[in-house]
Amino acid sequence: MGGTEETKASDDRGGRVAGLTRRFLSRTGDLLEQRIESGMERGDREVPILPEEPENGKWYRLPMEEGISGDGSDYHIYLKYGRADRLCLFLSGGGMAWDEYSAARPVTGARLAAGLPNYYWNNLRPVTEIINIYAGIMDGRKQENAFADWSFVVITYTTGDFHVGDSTLQYTDEDGTGRTLYFHGRKNFLMAMEEAVKRFPSPQKLLIAGDSAGAFAVPALAGEIAADYYPDCPDVTLLSDSALLEFKDWQHTLRDVWKAPRAQWEPVVSSNIVLDWYRKLLQTDLNGRKLRCLYASSVEDYLLSSYWNEFLGGKFETGPEIRSLFRNRLGETVKGLAELDPSFGFFIYDWKNPLYTKGGTVHTAVRLPYFYWKTKSGATMAEWLADAVDGKVRSEGMELIASGEV
């Protein structure tokens, strides 16, 4: 009995220490985010609102008066004027929410620092501007960036619904307060596209790209973009960077939770939503135009494997077994995409960051400094993507799937 009491006391002390540690880390994360945001505001680093006469090569915010973020706050997109004949439409990522539990746990500095589950971004604030437009393909200062002089429309994402939702969800947050999550991704997307086609009406080259949640949205929305907004653009390239997440309830989530249009939920008949959406897209008649399709992923994505682990009944955390499953299913997904279109181009990477990847590999590269990092073969995503949009499609890093080595 004494031993049992000692064990219980030890467990209680361990629990208290863990709780204090989480509270300390949460507070530290909050303070860090506040410092970043106040620094941007004091230094006037937030990009300005789009003026009547914008300058070429400069980023601007464009508020969407009827747009709404997931928590009900204001919504805006980002624009950059460059070459009139070359346009990148970028669908931003930022997680997902699929039920009341996930809705109640949006991303905050506190939750990130404490290692607590954080499933989606639910608003736009200064720190999200850094994520959206300051690195990778968005960095116009890099000489090796072939997209530095392109025009850009960045369709920001705060709704947890892969840009396709049209509903609301009532939930109770962790403090017991009743709140609403606005799954208004589709409405925001439609408003952004109206602005895009008004300001950039006739590109001759169009890149429709997305990372994370936006990478899933690329095949879901590219057909609509090409057919309804840019029907005369002769050269369209697609890039999905980091879109692999198998889930048995995809159709239910799309149809009943997010209330996406039938065109989005009906084709999803398996647990692999990206394969189903690309299958539907490649069967779509676009007046004889052939879309150039690209897919990128890291081999043991620490973040997507965390979501996957939870979907399988575990915790929102990565680990060796779930990463091994992820790597195996990545190989099957690449094979499936190549069967849909033998000209599919792939970029597979295995970079790690000991600060946060927790034994896995990084999540996304196209809007991060990794865009310019060399693989073991000497290739960079920047070079691979630039070649692809010019019609020289190839695949890099396929040996990582074949060997299973990371």
Rg value, the chain, Cα = 21
| Cα four-point dihedral sign 168, 169, 172, 173 | negative
pLDDT tens digit sequence for 4-30: 555 444 444 444 433 433 343 344 444
Considering only 37-46, 182-191, 278-287, which range has the smallest mean pLDDT?
37-46
Per-residue pLDDT reduced to its tens digit, 129-141? 999 999 999 999 9
- Which amino acid would we find at residue 236? V
Owning domain of residue 329: 46-403
Residue with tokens 């890291």, as numbered in its chain? 298
Q: Is residue 9 part of a domain?
A: no
Residue 38 lies in a domain: no
Residue 156's identity, in one-letter code, is T
- Whether 76 is in a domain gets the answer yes
pLDDT beyond 50 at 2 = no
Q: Is residue 22, in this structure, part of any structural domain at all?
A: no
Q: How far apart are CA 386 and CA 119, in angstroms?
A: 32
Read off the tokens for 209: 């790209």
Taking the C-alpha atoms of residue 179 and residue 155, their distance in angstroms, rounded to an integer, is 25
Domains identified in the chain, total number: 1
* Within a domain: 303: yes
Q: What is the reported pLDDT for 26?
A: 40
Q: Is residue 4 part of a domain?
A: no
**pLDDT computed for residue 5 by the predictor:** 54
Q: Which CA distances in Å does 226 have to 73, 219, 328? A: 30, 11, 33
Is 369 part of a structural domain of the chain? yes
The answer to whether the Cα torsion of 255, 258, 263, 264 is positive or negative is: negative
- The pTM for the full model equals 0.90
Tens digit of pLDDT for each residue in 306-352? 999 999 999 999 999 999 999 999 999 999 999 999 999 999 999 99
CA end-to-end span of the chain, whole Å?
48
Q: Which residues contact 272 (CB under 8 A, 6 or more apart)?
A: 244, 246, 329, 333, 336
CATH code at position 78: 3.40.50
